[in-house]
Amino acid sequence: MLANVIPRLRALAFSAILIAFALPAFAGPFEDAVGKFANDDFSDTEDAIGLIANSGNPLAYPIISALQDGRLMADSDSKKVYVTGTDGKSIDAATGAAVASVPDSASAVRLNNRLRRTVEAALGGLTLQSPDLSTRLAAAQSVFKSHEEGALPAVEAALDKETNKTARQALSEARAAILLFKSDATDTEKLDAIATLKARGDQEALALLTGLGSDQPPAVASVAASAISSIQSTLAVWSMVQNAWYGLSLGSVLLLAAIGLAITFGVMGVINMAHGEMVMLGAYTTFVVQEAIRTRYPGLFDYSLLIAVPLAFLVAGAVGVLIERTIIRFLYGRALETLLATWGLSLVLQQAVRTIFGPTNREVGNPSWMSGAFDLGQMTITYNRLWILCFTLALFAILLAMLRFTALGLQMRAVTQNRRMAASMGIATSRVDALTFGLGSGIAGIAGVALSQIDNVSPNLGQSYIIDSFMVVVFGGVGNLWGTLVGAFTLGIANKFLEPVAGAVLGKIAILVLIILFIQKRPRGLFALKGRAVEA
């Protein structure tokens, strides 16, 4: 009936548990066992450890770990035993009830070396049977790594009681790891163990199998060899998948940075060297939003990015419209001059941000739903990368839909295709120019919100993306959003597949050289707009 209490317990911080769940006080086998500590006799103590470890009582772990640390106090007169917590609070070991103070007559239960080993084994077994799933998994994993023979009984005992599927899996893998190296294990046991490890199929299983000595019976050795090669090929496939994922992730970052540029450069033909600074403005908007939330409404922190996205769009978009109205509109048709003026603008914006926010990196936090990671097969996927990929694709879809289905999108496309004709049809081309530029800048601002999650928010944030984003747009083909999408993911994946071969820097150089050569072959990019212009 005491076992009924177990499911109600969630945390291991034991003093909290004990205060909250004071156990009914009556004498039973557990209480008797605890009482043996007070006899001050090594064999009684050993009996008590064995009884308590197998009792399944939630107090077992606190008591035995207290015993190990010398915090278990026994009063030989009253036969009472107390656990002194690390926080100074004490409880009655038999009942779990809090006590005001431990009597002066009580002294720490003594241990000798043999008992210490017993205590350690009991603790190992207890963590394997801990009520907390993650503790059990961690314990199983550590047994798996150490694969010491002594842990086998504990593992098998835990395996008998375990009901959780994941934990059973981990325990049977730990058992397999032990059996594989156990000198007196039968061949059948070893073959089973190899099969289990093969099914696990990761680097650690591979390491165990390759660490198997050459003195194995031929049957075991050949099965182990085939298991090794099978694991190696699985791992090779997974590393491909992992590279592809990294590539997609890098591609999504490139796409984010380039997508606004695809509008200003691709659709309008304006070389905006200050594009990176729009991204930076978006990132700093996120920073300001998070600061405001931290100081005023800490509870809203998880929503900070949702608040920052529209704000970043507005801030960067407004700056974009301002730039278009004051500088760029005077330079239409003079692409090279636009390039110089916007470069100057980028210097001004950087310096302005440096003056206001300081030259150092600003901290932008991850909301809880973007932190952490999960395992997929043999690879780990972090949530922030996954979210950024989804976010980028969603942004792309929205932009595409906007250009296709809204009136502004229609006007934009009309102005791009034939400015004079569009003007003749009554489209206010200069208004469309300003809005298009604002849209491109605003999108860059939104990109800044996302990039603030994975990059340093500093005044130089934008500069690090500008060359890459131009590469993406030029590679994909100017004036075509799909080209930008394909270009970004192609470059991202190519980069990540070159990296393990050539190293990060050489891989990047190789990509740049390839793009330079590619542009020679197709000067208009992957998806060139078809037209009849003699030169453009």
Partner 1 sequence: MTPHVLTRSLDRGATIFVLVVAACGVLIPLSNLLLPAGSLFQVPTYLVALWGKYVCYAILALSIDLIWGYCGILSLGHGAFFALGGYAMGMYLMRQIGARGVYGNPNLPDFMVFLNWQKLPWYWSGFDMFWFAALMVIVVPGLLAFCFGWFAFRSRVTGVYLSIITQAMTYALLLGFFRNDFGFGGNNGLTDFKDILGFNVQADGTRAALFALSCLGLIIAFLICRAVVTSKLGKVLIAIRDAESRTRFIGYRVESYKLFVFTLSACMAGVAGALYVPQVGIINPSEFAPGNSIEAVIWVAVGGRGTLAGAALGAIVVNYAKTFFTSGPLAPYWLFMLGALFILVTLLLPKGIVGTFSAWWGPFKERRLLAADAASAAREDGVSEPNPAE
Q: Does 532 bind partner 1 (CB under 8 A)?
A: no
- Per CB under 8 A, the list member of 287, 313, 437, 470 interacting with partner 1 is 470
Locus of tokens 């978009």:
317
Asked if 134 and 12 count as a contact pair (C-beta separation under 8 A), the reply is: no
Is the Cβ of residue 141 or residue 429 nearer to partner 1 in the bound state?
A: 429
Q: Does 360 bind partner 1 (CB under 8 A)?
A: no
Locus of tokens 């199998």:
209
Nearest to residue 452, comparing CAs of 262, 304, 337? 304
- Per CB under 8 A, the list member of 474, 481, 486, 488 interacting with partner 1 is 474
Q: Does 13 bind partner 1 (CB under 8 A)?
A: no
Q: What is the largest CA-CA distance in the chain?
A: 106
- Shortest distance in whole angstroms from residue 287 CB to partner 1: 21
What are the distances in angstroms from CA 350 to CA 159, 179, 321, 466? Answer: 61, 62, 18, 13
- Shortest distance in whole angstroms from residue 517 CB to partner 1: 7
- Select from 11-19, 210-218, 227-235, 338-346 the region that touches partner 1 (CB under 8 A): 338-346
Q: Does 513 bind partner 1 (CB under 8 A)?
A: yes
Is the Cβ of residue 244 or residue 408 nearer to partner 1 in the bound state?
A: 408
Asked if 353 and 367 count as a contact pair (C-beta separation under 8 A), the reply is: no
- Select from 89-97, 132-140, 395-403, 517-525 the region that touches partner 1 (CB under 8 A): 517-525
Question: How is 53-108 classified by DSSP, letter by letter?
Answer: HTT--TTHHHHHHHHHHT-EEEETTTTEEEEE-TTS-EEETTT--EES---TT-EE
- Per CB under 8 A, the list member of 340, 393, 401, 425 interacting with partner 1 is 340
- Shortest distance in whole angstroms from residue 189 CB to partner 1: 50
What are the distances in angstroms from CA 83 to CA 79, 96, 98, 319? Answer: 14, 9, 10, 65
Residue list 439-468, contact with partner 1 (CB under 8 A): 463, 467
**304-333 mask for partner 1 (x: CB under 8 A)?**
-----------------------x-xxxxx
Q: Does 351 bind partner 1 (CB under 8 A)?
A: yes
- Shortest distance in whole angstroms from residue 262 CB to partner 1: 14
Q: Does 535 bind partner 1 (CB under 8 A)?
A: yes
Asked if 523 and 536 count as a contact pair (C-beta separation under 8 A), the reply is: no
- Shortest distance in whole angstroms from residue 246 CB to partner 1: 19
Locus of tokens 């030169």:
535
- Shortest distance in whole angstroms from residue 457 CB to partner 1: 19
Nearest to residue 276, comparing CAs of 145, 425, 54, 465? 465
Look up residue 362 and give its DSSP letter.
B
Look up residue 36 and give its DSSP letter.
G
Is the Cβ of residue 125 or residue 479 nearer to partner 1 in the bound state?
A: 479
What is the Cα–Cα distance from 512 to 275, expressed in whole angstroms?
Answer: 20
Report strand pairing: 107-108 vs 98-99: unpaired
Is the Cβ of residue 296 or residue 521 nearer to partner 1 in the bound state?
A: 521
- Per CB under 8 A, the list member of 181, 238, 301, 343 interacting with partner 1 is 343
Is the Cβ of residue 58 or residue 479 nearer to partner 1 in the bound state?
A: 479
Asked if 284 and 462 count as a contact pair (C-beta separation under 8 A), the reply is: no
Locus of tokens 């200069």:
430
Q: Does 377 bind partner 1 (CB under 8 A)?
A: no
- Shortest distance in whole angstroms from residue 252 CB to partner 1: 22
What is the Cα–Cα distance from 421 to 418, expressed in whole angstroms?
Answer: 5
- Per CB under 8 A, the list member of 243, 272, 346, 436 interacting with partner 1 is 346
Look up residue 334 and give its DSSP letter.
-
Single-letter residue type at 442: G
- Per CB under 8 A, the list member of 296, 521, 530, 532 interacting with partner 1 is 521
Q: Does 515 bind partner 1 (CB under 8 A)?
A: yes
Q: Does 348 bind partner 1 (CB under 8 A)?
A: yes
Q: Does 352 bind partner 1 (CB under 8 A)?
A: yes
3-state secondary structure of 189: helix
- Shortest distance in whole angstroms from residue 514 CB to partner 1: 10
Q: Does 429 bind partner 1 (CB under 8 A)?
A: yes
CA dihedral of 305, 274, 389, 231, whole degrees rounded to 10? -130
Q: Does 536 bind partner 1 (CB under 8 A)?
A: yes
Nearest to residue 466, comparing CAs of 301, 307, 271? 271
Is the Cβ of residue 125 or residue 525 nearer to partner 1 in the bound state?
A: 525
- Per CB under 8 A, the list member of 250, 281, 345, 389 interacting with partner 1 is 345
Report strand pairing: 90-92 vs 107-108: unpaired
What are the distances in angstroms from CA 497 to CA 323, 378, 467? Answer: 39, 18, 20
Q: Does 350 bind partner 1 (CB under 8 A)?
A: yes
Residue list 236-275, contact with partner 1 (CB under 8 A): 269, 271, 273
> Which residues would be at the binding site for partner 1 (CB under 8 A)?
269, 271, 273, 327, 329-341, 343-352, 354-355, 419-420, 429, 433, 463, 467, 470-471, 474, 505-506, 508-509, 512-513, 515-517, 519-521, 523, 534-536
